[in-house]
Amino acid sequence: MNIECPLPLDQLATESDEVIRLGHGSGGELTQRLLRDFIFPYIDNYWIQQGHDSAKLPVDNGSLVFTTDSFVVSPLFFPGGDIGKLAVYGTVNDLAMSGARPKYLSCGLILEEGLPIKTLVRIMYSMGTAAAEVGVQLVTGDTKVVERGKGDGIYINTSGIGVLGATREICPQQIVASDVVILSGDIGRHGMAVMAQREGLEFESPLLSDCAPLCDPVAALLAAGIEVHCLRDLTRGGLATALVELAESSGMGIQVEEGCIPVSEPVQGACELLGLDPMYVANEGRFILFVPAQQQQQALEILTAIPVSIDSRVIGRVSSLAGAEVTLQNSLGCERLLYRLPGEQLPRIC
């Protein structure tokens, strides 16, 4: 996809020493200046120029798909991405997982008093670039400022609208016995890239977050007529949680082979060191899909031709024999059940 940056990098207002003040959320002159100088230039389009309270959107034939997601991450910038990219890709990916073509996003910003303007600008630039890369428009938004100490620098909410072509429904209830499960690449990069920066646990790592838009591989599969039964992007809770959720929603059993699930050496090293299970570590650019076994070869050929899903492989299959649960078979031939995490995955050290 052609990536058009909304502004050349050297024109970014990154030299500003200003910080966000409560007045930036007042709705008055300061708010106007914030929007005009530091936000709009990076997401500019027809709708932004209209300056209305809401955006009037033309719609093709077909159904609309609508979703929302909020983004809180610390640190705001991490190897391989930042909160701005996450906020665009996260919502775009949720739309793509229903088979839709993402079209429009809203952008709600909650800024903490004291946030450096240049940090905001870097994030807005990142959002603008990510939106251009995916081909979505940021058509409406809102900005509020909270007192210092009441926010983590910046929180972003994005809602998204996508258009569903004349495709069959893609959802957990479509999963049938004998479907194969395909995973689009190695797991755990995002969670470990962020963990590497955490005070008290930090380590040196070449790890980059996997955060990426997933609409290209989905569009390619649908365009080729692959009968995709279900799609799910892997986020918090990792691969294990996604599989467990789908087993429960579909009422089907899923058998997965541990040996087929790729884990990069840095992720393995970090997980061993901290006593974490990569099956439960967060991702931001991976998904699983359920397709009929007879189409697995064709689906893999399509996926592996696209950079973001180049390492796709079959990791398991669906069975109606077992209950609605996920069985993981390891390389020793032993089985265990996967469960949801009871809470945050905590390092097991002592």
Asked if 208 interacts with other proteins (CB under 8 A), we say no
Of 208 and 300, CB closest to other proteins: 208
- Secondary structure of residue 198 in the 3-state scheme: coil
Q: Could you tell me the maximum CA-CA distance found in the chain, to the nearest angstrom?
A: 67
Amino acid 167 reads T
- CB 327, min distance to other proteins, A: 8
Q: Can you tell me the distance from the alpha carbon of 155 to that of 74, in angstroms, rounded to the nearest whole number?
A: 10
Asked if 207 interacts with other proteins (CB under 8 A), we say yes
Looking at 60, 142, 265, 301, which residue binds other proteins (CB under 8 A)?
265
Asked if 266 interacts with other proteins (CB under 8 A), we say yes
Type and span of the H or E element at 158: strand 154-164
Q: Can you tell me the distance from the alpha carbon of 153 to that of 148, in angstroms, rounded to the nearest whole number?
A: 9
Looking at 268, 298, 304, 319, which residue binds other proteins (CB under 8 A)?
268
Query: Which tokens hold the place of 343?
Result: 């809470």
Asked if 22 interacts with other proteins (CB under 8 A), we say no
Specify the stretch interacting with other proteins by CB under 8 A; choose among 21-29, 123-131, 220-228, 259-267: 259-267
Cα dihedral angle (341, 344, 345, 350), rounded to 10 degrees? -120
Q: Can you tell me the distance from the alpha carbon of 297 to that of 343, in angstroms, rounded to the nearest whole number?
A: 37
Residue 156, CA distances (Å) to 20, 73, 91, 144, 201 in order: 15, 10, 11, 10, 26
Phi, psi of 312 (to 5 degrees): -60, 145
Looking at 35, 219, 274, 324, which residue binds other proteins (CB under 8 A)?
274
Asked if 108 interacts with other proteins (CB under 8 A), we say no
Of 34 and 276, CB closest to other proteins: 276
Specify the stretch interacting with other proteins by CB under 8 A; choose among 74-82, 145-153, 175-183, 201-209: 201-209
Query: What would the x/- binding string for other proteins be over residues 132 to 161, using CB under 8 A?
Result: ------------------------------
Asked if 272 interacts with other proteins (CB under 8 A), we say yes
Cα 151 to its chain centre, rounded Å, is 22
- CB 338, min distance to other proteins, A: 8
Asked if 321 interacts with other proteins (CB under 8 A), we say no
Specify the stretch interacting with other proteins by CB under 8 A; choose among 41-49, 80-88, 132-140, 205-213: 205-213
Cα dihedral angle (82, 131, 286, 291), rounded to 10 degrees? 170
Specify the stretch interacting with other proteins by CB under 8 A; choose among 104-112, 123-131, 135-143, 261-269: 261-269
Query: Which tokens hold the place of 181?
Result: 């499960």
- 130-161: b (≥16 Cβ within 10 Å) or e: bbbbbbbbbbbbebebeeeeebebbbbbbbbb
Asked if 34 interacts with other proteins (CB under 8 A), we say no
Looking at 45, 205, 298, 304, which residue binds other proteins (CB under 8 A)?
205
Of 321 and 350, CB closest to other proteins: 350
Q: How many C-beta neighbours within 10 Å does residue 272 have?
A: 10
Looking at 75, 206, 225, 251, which residue binds other proteins (CB under 8 A)?
206
- CB 225, min distance to other proteins, A: 39
CA-based angle 54:57:61, to the nearest 5?
150
Q: Binders of other proteins: how many residues, by CB under 8 A?
A: 37
Specify the stretch interacting with other proteins by CB under 8 A; choose among 13-21, 162-170, 192-200, 284-292: 192-200
- CB 190, min distance to other proteins, A: 15
Block residue for tokens 């708010």: 31
Q: Which residues bind other proteins (CB under 8 A)?
A: 196, 199-201, 203-207, 264-270, 272-275, 277, 330-337, 339, 342-343, 346-350
